[in-house]
Structure 1
Amino acid sequence: MPRIAVARLWFEGNSFTPVPTGMEAFRSREWVEGEEALARYAGTSMELGAVAAFLTARPDWSGQVLRCASAQPGGPMEDAVLQAWLDEVLPPLRAGGFDGVYLSLHGACVTASDPEADLTILRAVRAAIGPDVPLTASFDFHADMAEEAATLLDGASAYRSYPHTDMDIAAARALAMLERRILGGPRLHGAVVKRPFVLHSFHMRSAEGPMAEVWALAAELEEGPVCEAFPFGGFAWGDSPHAGPSGMAWAEDPAAARAAATRIAEAIEARRPRFSVTLPTPEEGLARALSGPPGLVALLDPADNPFSGGIADTPELLRVLLGKPPGVPTVFAFLHDPVTVEAARAAGEGGQITRPLAAQLTSAFGPPVPFSGIVERLTEGRFTNEGPMERGSPVDLGPTAVLRDGDLRIIVTTRKEAAVDPAFFALHGIDLAATRLMANKGKNHFRAAFAARCSLIVECDCPGPASLDLAALPFRHVPRAWL
């Protein structure tokens, strides 16, 4: 009976977010192991959903699910979190008894002192299991992938959609590579080929634009000896020595893997100018959105997008909406502000609330915005994602509040979870069919559920941790010439 070990540490670190990511961010989102992990994610579109399906389909296999942890992207992970994860995962791996190991990683994890934490994990796991136990992993498409990673793994896969709606499919491919090796299949050789620049992710969607063309090329390369070939776009706000785009490929012939990865990297480099982006000011973006076709229109603030490590606390877009009210039914999603939620609960539904909003964590991106209105709704903050992103996974925002001033509703949460799922708005009593304008701290992942619901989506340039001007950020590990 083959026996595999599974472990997961999924985190994308924004080196310029002023709030570190500690253990509470993981415990409130995902800090599970064993049968609890499989039961929680069975039937979902998450990586552990694929693990559950893999083991169910192979009753003669057994799997030990070690510590599985994830948090929303954010400021650098506290070193103690990584150490706690390693302290739980490495001892059973050293003890042995496993025929193979699968890891669910992100690829752009940074900690307070380690700008290449995913590589640190791969080195530690490989040292624990030795050179002969097969090890595969799945990664986010936005990984800042180290070339050394290919020498530590026996196979790997990555998301092939952006927005990421195929997390389970990526995991299933990595598990299939692991199964192949355990059952005696030929050894695979991997290659990572990088390019020395950093790209914004605005034009990396898989359905259109330059990265869609790169994905199509990668698919064509999967023939003959090449079984996996895919691009990584990199994560622009992760200050890592491995930052930037790359190609990865796996083949029975090492030269074929290297050639395929090189073709992918060259294809990204040839399209580099097309990844550039300019955005309107929030005032200009608001005007564009309101002049759009009938129906729901969205005005996005990507600089404070939680999926880019934003803090859901920057004030500029809210300041514009309150300073010049749009005059149409509007929802602002969202602010991460536990203190305001407590004040709203003290006031009660229908109660008056007057207090400054935003810039509660830091005033680095602008001062707070004065607000006076009513508490329209209070919730306990729990719902299940409808998808297609993270379909079926549970979400706990902690207690939340909806504040209202005229036509403007503002959602405030205790915990930070991106507002990219329709269930987020249903929880708060927001009728999207009766809403004209949605102002959202989001970017491309927002489109997974809302591209078809919105008649127009406009992104604008606001101050924030994931700001448009990379050259203005204090990189330490990425050469200035790459920006």
Structure 2
Amino acid sequence: MPKIAVARLWFEGNSFTPIPTGMDAFLSREWIAGEEVLGRYAGTAMEMGAVASFLAKHPGWSATVLRCASAQPGGPMTDEVFEAWMGEVMPALRAGGFDGVYLSLHGACVTESDPEADLTILRAVRSAVGRDVPVTASFDFHANMAEEAATLLDGASAYRTYPHVDMDVAGARALDMLERRIGGGAVLHGAVAKRPFVLQSLNMRSAEGPMAEVWALAAELEEGAVCEAFPFGGFAWGDSPHAGPSGMAWASDAGAVRAAAERIAAAIEARRGRFAVFSPSPEEGLALALKGPPGLVALLDPADNPFSGGIADTPGLLRVLVQNPPPVPTVFAFLNDPAAVQAAASAGVGGRLERALAAQVTEAFGPPVPFSGVVERLTDGRFVNEGPMERGAPVDLGPTAVLRSDALRVIVTTKKEAAVDPAFFSLHGIDLGATRLMANKGKNHFRAAFAERCSMILECDCPGPASLDLAALPFRHVPKAWLQPG
């Protein structure tokens, strides 16, 4: 009876976010092991959901589910968290007794002292289990993938959608590769081909645009000896020696795999200039949004997008809404401000609240915004994602509040979880059918659930830790020449 080990460390680190991501962020989202993992994620559209499904379909297999951890993207992971995870997983793997290993990783993890943490994990896993135990992994599309990674794995997969609605599919593909290898299937060769530049990800959607064309090419390459071929867009705000886009492929023929990976990387390079995006200011964006077609219009602030490591605290877009109050029902989602939630709870529903909002973490992106209004709603912050992204996954925002000033509602939360699911708004009593303008700290993942709900979606350019102007950020591991648009 085959026995596999499963472990997960899913974290995307923004090197320019001023707050390190510590254990609290993991404990509030995911820091679990064993049967609890399978029980929580069974039936969900996530990697561990794929593990639960795989085991249900393979009753002769068993899995030891080691530490599984994830947190919302944020500042570099503290060394304490990384060492705790490594300190649990590596001794268990060194103890042996496994026929294979499946890893759920992000690919753009940076810690306080390690700018290539995913590669560090792969090296340690390979050292722990030796060369004879097959190891496969699944990655986020935004991985900053090291070329060496292909030499440490026996197979890999990645999300093929952006927004990422196929996390479970990527996990299933990696598990299928592991099953074939354990069952005596052909040894696969892997290759990663990189290019020396970094791209910001606003124009990398899988439904349209230049990256959609690259994904289509990669799918055509999956024939004959090539069983897996896919691009990585990279994570621009992770200051890593391996930053930037790449192509990865797996094949039974070493020559075919290198050629496939190179073709994917070349396809990205040929479209480099098309990934550059220039967005209006928040003032200009608001004016355009109010002139938009009937229905719900979304005005997004990508520079403080939690899924890009944003802090949900920058004041730029909120200031424009407060100083120029839209004459239509408007919701601002959201601010991660535990103190404001506590103040709202003290005032009670219907109570008045006057305080400064935003820029509570840092004023590096602008000063706080004076706010005067009433407390409209208080919640426990718990809901289950409707999807399609992370469908079925439980979310805990901690206590939250809805603050209202005339037609403007502002959602404040105790924990930082992106407002990209309709259930986020249902929890807060927001009728999207009666809302004209949604100002959201989001980017492409927002579109998974809202592209069809919105009559128009606009992005604006505000100061923030995921700024569009990469050349203005203080990179240490990425050459400045890599940051210029092609």
Whether TM exceeds 0.5 here: the answer is yes
Structure 1 residue 123 corresponds to structure 2 residue 98: no
| Correspondences of 1:26-45 after superposition (within 5 Å) | 26-45=26-45
What's the secondary structure of 1:445's corresponding residue?
helix
- Alpha-carbon distance in 2 for matches of 1:213, 1:311: 32
Partner of residue 95, structure 2: 95
Partner of residue 299, structure 1: 299
Structure 1 residue 14 corresponds to structure 2 residue 51: no
Partner of residue 111, structure 2: 111
2:230 is matched by which residue type in structure 1?
Answer: F
- Alpha-carbon distance in 1 for matches of 2:29, 2:360: 22
% of aligned pairs identical?
Answer: 81
Partner of residue 426, structure 2: 426
Structure 1 residue 240 corresponds to structure 2 residue 240: yes
Structure 1 residue 137 corresponds to structure 2 residue 137: yes
- Alpha-carbon distance in 2 for matches of 1:209, 1:470: 21
Partner of residue 312, structure 2: 312
Q: CA deviation at 1:136?
A: 0.2
- Alpha-carbon distance in 2 for matches of 1:159, 1:415: 26
Q: CA deviation at 1:200?
A: 1.1
- Alpha-carbon distance in 1 for matches of 2:219, 2:74: 32
- Alpha-carbon distance in 1 for matches of 2:130, 2:11: 25
Q: Deviations over 1:276-307 (max 9, x none)?
A: 11000000000111101000000000000000
- Alpha-carbon distance in 2 for matches of 1:60, 1:470: 50
- Alpha-carbon distance in 2 for matches of 1:91, 1:198: 36
Q: Deviations over 1:235-292 (max 9, x none)?
A: 0000000000000000011111100000000000000010011000000000111101
Q: CA deviation at 1:203?
A: 1.0
Q: CA deviation at 1:313?
A: 0.1
Structure 1 residue 382 corresponds to structure 2 residue 401: no
Structure 1 residue 358 corresponds to structure 2 residue 358: yes
Partner of residue 203, structure 1: 203
1:378 is matched by which residue type in structure 2?
Answer: L
- Alpha-carbon distance in 1 for matches of 2:409, 2:462: 20
Partner of residue 162, structure 1: 162
2:82 is matched by which residue type in structure 1?
Answer: L
2:372 is matched by which residue type in structure 1?
Answer: S
Q: Deviations over 1:6-57 (max 9, x none)?
A: 0000000000000110000000000111100000000000000000000010
2:130 is matched by which residue type in structure 1?
Answer: G
Partner of residue 253, structure 1: 253
| Correspondences of 1:282-293 after superposition (within 5 Å) | 282-293=282-293
- Alpha-carbon distance in 1 for matches of 2:77, 2:449: 29
Partner of residue 223, structure 1: 223
- Superposed CA RMSD in Å reads 0.4
Q: CA deviation at 1:88?
A: 0.7
Partner of residue 368, structure 2: 368
Q: Deviations over 1:129-180 (max 9, x none)?
A: 0111000000000000000000000000000000000000000000000000
- Alpha-carbon distance in 2 for matches of 1:289, 1:363: 27
Unpaired segments of 5 or more residues in structure 1? none
Structure 1 residue 340 corresponds to structure 2 residue 353: no
> When the two structures are superposed, what TM-score results if normalisation uses the length of structure 2?
0.99
Q: Deviations over 1:322-379 (max 9, x none)?
A: 0000110000000000011000000001101110000000000000000110000000
Unpaired segments of 5 or more residues in structure 2? none
Partner of residue 86, structure 2: 86
- Alpha-carbon distance in 1 for matches of 2:68, 2:257: 30
Partner of residue 469, structure 1: 469
Partner of residue 71, structure 1: 71
> When the two structures are superposed, what TM-score results if normalisation uses the length of structure 1?
1.00
Q: CA deviation at 1:92?
A: 1.2
- Alpha-carbon distance in 2 for matches of 1:344, 1:184: 61
> Which 4+ runs in 1 deviate beyond 4 A?
none
Partner of residue 460, structure 1: 460
Q: CA deviation at 1:195?
A: 0.3
What's the secondary structure of 2:136's corresponding residue?
strand
Q: Deviations over 1:98-155 (max 9, x none)?
A: 0000000000000000000000000011111011100000000000000000000000
Partner of residue 416, structure 1: 416
Q: CA deviation at 1:453?
A: 0.2
2:403 is matched by which residue type in structure 1?
Answer: L
1:324 is matched by which residue type in structure 2?
Answer: N
- Alpha-carbon distance in 1 for matches of 2:393, 2:277: 33
1:164 is matched by which residue type in structure 2?
Answer: H
